[in-house]
Structure 1
Amino acid sequence: MTAPANPYKTQPERAFWRASVGARHYADLADLWQPMPLKKSDRVATAGSCFAQHIGNNLAIRGAAFMDMEPAPPVFSSEAEARRWGYGVFSCRYGNSYTSRQLIQLFDEAHGQRSPQELVWEKQGRFFDALRPGLDPVGQDSAEAVLALRQQHLEAVRRMFAEMDVFVFTMGLTEGWESVADGTMFPTAPGTIAGTYRPEAYRLHNLRAHEIRADMEEFWDRLRQVNPGARMLLTVSPVPLAATATDNHVLVATTWSKSVLRSVAGELAEDHPDIHYFPSYEIISSHPARGMFFEPDLRNVNGFGVDLVMQHFFSGDLAVEFAGKVAEPEDEIELICDEGRIDG
């Protein structure tokens, strides 16, 4: 058997820029990922940054077994109103989990392996869960009420991790604010939604690639201990940082953060057969898209971008498995994003 003239001669068309990108209209790009094994019967849980909400919403619309472990009580006038209180946003009512550190700390707390020293923040006489402050627009009347609700929440989180088949996690940020006392990382800086910022009590932690990789490896090991058959789908949010607490320009900080997250996500997917990566970040943010999928603020992703991402997601075998109903304009959801309140 004659060897090829060079190792690229046996590569498929999708491996060549000119054929698969440069000579095609962007809407005609194909084979951007090799879809993971996924059935409608698979129980799917979601967490992460704001963009993860689109994937969960579209999976539910197409008939996936989307897990809602903390359903809204029948006191809300609409689904949109319930979402503003954190119901139906993700599989549990944990709000945005922007960083790998939040994820591993949530898992450990839910399984009794971690007890954060600071769980309650106060604002104007009302009390908020410091680890999900954006969920309750008005707060509770006592710290005890916050803690009781958190225990119910952690029970739902524990059941979710044990019962799910697929965990979809959208990696959003490297920057986070943590407690000096015990390293607990919060979804927002103290004082942004509730609480009081005290420089001696809180510090910025811009997670490095090796820290994020270690967090995710530890999470994966612990998840497989309680759920040996679990699979994980990673994505990286294409939404730029609303603000940076570093000395960098926000554009530079965004590029650094997303590059680190994308690198770690790729390594995890390469090294673990049951961890998969879906390129929503590349579809929206890469330069061949010419920025056309962002709103005028160049930060929020428009409906056309979301639709294109979902077209690529439900491709190959997933196009057959999830054939039927697709999302319509009226199915679009209002994203619930704590980070956006930094610049509010």
Structure 2
Amino acid sequence: MNFRTKVELPAGILSVGYQNRLMSLGSCFSEHIGNRLSDAKFACDVNPFGILYNPFSIARALETLLDGRLYDETSPELFVSKDGWWHSFMHHSRFSASSRDECLSLINGRLSRAMEALPSLDFLLITLGTSYVYCLKGEDGGAADPLEQVVANCHKLPESRFVRLRVSPDAVVRRLGAVIGRLLERRPTLQVLFTVSPIRHARDGFHANQLSKSALLLAVDELCATCPCCHYFPAYEIVLDELRDYRFYADDMLHPSPLAIDYVWECFTDACLTAEARSVMAECQEIRRALEHRPFHPEAPQYKNFLTQIVLRINRLTEKCPTLDFKKELELCHTRLNQ
């Protein structure tokens, strides 16, 4: 007897190895996958603008990287001051600061690193969260084209300052298709993997949330049908159809639980990583777990030998895969060995 509906995973949609460079952009679900790739020692740049929910802001972020444009005091994205803090409408609040100069420094420092990675990018992972957008009103209270003023984050400013719209699938296809075209001109071998976030936006109402997600799914389907470099990974379907039970949700009953994220991660690695990469990743995880072990007697010879064996494992693994960065782990081992 079978008590669940199994979502069929696309076979070999990507072949990600440790020699590749990745970037993950989008909603908080993109951070779950991106951070796990980074933790597993993949070269993955995760959300250089912070969390981005809508496709228009994701497209604008990519355009900024393509243009190689750092921000200054005249940039239209900057600045807005609220309650003594400075914010950027294009960035998550993790970039907010108590002064405009500090906010600008945080943004540009992060942008510079992302721009350096762009020319050698092999895989771009995009997670779309919602097709609702907030458009900043002009000084006259309106705008000729509100979609020219889409913000990534409202920073809890009054709703009266924004126009809220749900963009159509065609509008998403045009906006993302144009920027993907620019990316391919710069990097013809680039592969783009889309996911739609399974996180439900309850504030929209559940019917409106379904309409929003449907627009994204239709848009991604069109992009994948018309652009050979675009692919879709069914994270949305895995959580909502295969894991169709509230035990797989967090306490708010809207976000996937850690167990659900673990399962989606397993599905992702099976579908998108090479067999060699999965093998190396397993060794990286074993080393990380070993270093998380805290002994009762760190000065004991047995523990010193344990650390020495970890250093040897790291050295053997980096000989096998030179792109791995174990600098922090080696420093930690040497620090503990010298205590």
Are 1:323 and 2:301 an aligned pair? no
Instruction: From the superposition, tell whether residues 151 and 235 of structure 1 become closer, same or farther in structure 2 (CA, over 3 Å).
Output: same
Select which of 131, 140, 152 maps to 1:187: 152
Structure 1 partner of 2:85: 126
User: How far did 1:318 drift?
Assistant: 2.9
Query: Does the aligned pair in 1 maintain the 2:191–2:230 contact within 8 Å?
Result: yes
State the alpha-carbon separation in 2 of the partners of residues 148 and 63 from structure 1: 27
After superposing the two structures, state which structure 1 stretch, 256-265 or 178-187, moved more: 178-187
- Deviation string 1:82-117 (CA, Å, 9 cap, x unpaired) is xxxxxxxx252x111111110222233341689853
State the alpha-carbon separation in 1 of the partners of residues 59 and 20 from structure 2: 23
Query: Does the aligned pair in 2 maintain the 1:105–1:184 contact within 8 Å?
Result: no
Give the number of equivalent residue pairs.
273
Are 1:214 and 2:179 an aligned pair? no
After superposing the two structures, state which structure 1 stretch, 157-166 or 226-235, moved more: 157-166
Structure 2 partner of 1:164: 121
- Deviation string 1:20-50 (CA, Å, 9 cap, x unpaired) is xxx63439x4742223222221111111000
Query: Does the aligned pair in 1 maintain the 2:26–2:51 contact within 8 Å?
Result: yes
- Deviation string 1:193-228 (CA, Å, 9 cap, x unpaired) is xxx4362x4211221111111111011011112222
Structure 2 partner of 1:230: 190
SS of 1:44's partner is strand
Structure 1 partner of 2:112: 155
Select which of 39, 48, 54 maps to 2:17: 39
- Deviation string 1:252-286 (CA, Å, 9 cap, x unpaired) is 11111111111211222222222111111000012
- Deviation string 1:25-77 (CA, Å, 9 cap, x unpaired) is 439x474222322222111111100001121123234442223xxxxxxxxxx
Instruction: From the superposition, tell whether residues 165 and 116 of structure 1 become closer, same or farther in structure 2 (CA, over 3 Å).
Output: same
TM-score normalised to structure 2 length:
0.71
SS of 1:281's partner is helix
Higher helix share: 2
**Superposition pairs for residues 1-344 of structure 1, below 5 Å?**
24-26=2-4, 29=6, 31-35=8-12, 36-67=14-45, 90-92=46-48, 94-110=49-65, 111=67, 117-136=76-95, 139-141=97-99, 143-181=100-138, 183-190=148-155, 192=156, 196-197=157-158, 199=160, 201-244=161-204, 250-286=205-241, 289-315=244-270, 318=273, 320-321=275-276, 322-325=278-281
Larger radius of gyration: 2
SS of 1:131's partner is coil
User: How far did 1:148 drift?
Assistant: 4.4
Structure 1 partner of 2:316: none
Query: Does the aligned pair in 2 maintain the 1:236–1:258 contact within 8 Å?
Result: yes
Query: Does the aligned pair in 2 maintain the 1:174–1:261 contact within 8 Å?
Result: yes
SS of 1:261's partner is helix
Query: Does the aligned pair in 2 maintain the 1:43–1:165 contact within 8 Å?
Result: yes
SS of 1:24's partner is coil
State the alpha-carbon separation in 1 of the partners of residues 253 and 75 from structure 2: 37
User: How far did 1:118 drift?
Assistant: 4.4
Instruction: From the superposition, tell whether residues 165 and 146 of structure 1 become closer, same or farther in structure 2 (CA, over 3 Å).
Output: same
State the alpha-carbon separation in 1 of the partners of residues 18 and 8 from structure 2: 22
Kindly report the root-mean-square deviation, in angstroms, between the aligned alpha carbons of the 2 structures. 3.0
SS of 2:175's partner is helix
State the alpha-carbon separation in 1 of the partners of residues 2 and 75 from structure 2: 52
User: How far did 1:121 drift?
Assistant: 1.4
Q: After TM superposition, which residue ranges in structure 1, 4 or more long, deviate above 4 angstroms? A: 112-116, 324-330
Q: Identity of aligned pairs, percent? A: 21
State the alpha-carbon separation in 1 of the partners of residues 187 and 118 from structure 2: 7
State the alpha-carbon separation in 1 of the partners of residues 63 and 43 from structure 2: 25
- Deviation string 1:307-330 (CA, Å, 9 cap, x unpaired) is 211221122673623125456998
State the alpha-carbon separation in 1 of the partners of residues 271 and 104 from structure 2: 46
SS of 1:233's partner is strand
- Deviation string 1:175-210 (CA, Å, 9 cap, x unpaired) is 1211233733222335x1xxx4362x4211221111
User: How far did 1:235 drift?
Assistant: 0.5
Instruction: From the superposition, tell whether residues 123 and 317 of structure 1 become closer, same or farther in structure 2 (CA, over 3 Å).
Output: closer
* Gaps in structure 1 of 5+ consecutive residues: 1-22, 68-89, 245-249, 331-344
State the alpha-carbon separation in 2 of the partners of residues 159 and 242 from structure 1: 38
State the alpha-carbon separation in 1 of the partners of residues 10 and 31 from structure 2: 20
Aligned partner letter, 2:230: I
Query: Does the aligned pair in 2 maintain the 1:55–1:310 contact within 8 Å?
Result: yes
TM-score normalised to structure 1 length:
0.70
